[in-house]
Amino acid sequence: MFDMHVMAIFMLIGFFILLMIGVPVAITLATVGFVFGFLGFGTSLFNLLPARVFGIVAGYQWLAIPLFIFMGIMLEKSRLADDLLDVIGHIAGGVKGGMAVGIILFGALMGATTGIVGATVITLGLLTLPTLIRRGYNKSIACGAICASGTLGQIIPPSLILILLSDIMQLSVGTLFAAAVGPGLILVVVYIVFILVLGWLKPDLMPPIPKEERSRVSGKELWVRFWKVVVPPIMLVVAVLGSIVGGVAAPTEAAAMGAVGSILVTFLSGRFKWEILKQVAIDTTKISALMMFILICAQVFALSFRGLNGEELI
154-164 residue pLDDT tens: 777 777 777 77
CA distances from 133 to 94, 139, 206, 262 (A): 16, 6, 10, 32
Model confidence at 124, in pLDDT bands (50, 70, 90)? Answer: low
Using left for φ > 0, alpha for ψ between -120 and 50, and beta otherwise, residue 113 falls in alpha
169-183 residue pLDDT tens: 667 777 787 888 888
User: Number of helices and strands (H, E) in the chain?
Assistant: 16, 0
Please give the mean pLDDT across all residues of the chain. 79
Q: Which residues of 186-216 are buried (b: 16+ CB within 10 A; e: fewer)?
A: ebbeebbebbbebbeeeeebbbbbeeeebee
Sign of the Cα pseudo-torsion (175, 149, 71, 283, in order): negative
Return d(Cα 4, Cα 1) in angstroms, integer.
9
277-294 residue pLDDT tens: 898 899 889 888 888 888
3-state secondary structure of 284: helix
Q: Is pLDDT of 118 > 60?
A: no
91 close to 229: Cβ distance less than 8 angstroms:
no
Query: What pLDDT, on a 0 to 100 scale, did the predictor assign at position 1?
Result: 47
249-286 residue pLDDT tens: 777 888 888 888 888 888 877 778 888 889 889 988 98
67-80 residue pLDDT tens: 888 887 787 777 76
Q: Is pLDDT of 2 > 70?
A: no
27-81 residue pLDDT tens: 998 899 898 888 888 878 788 788 878 877 777 777 878 888 888 778 777 776 6
pTM for this structure?
0.70
- Mean pLDDT across 125-135: 71
> What does the chain come to in residues?
314
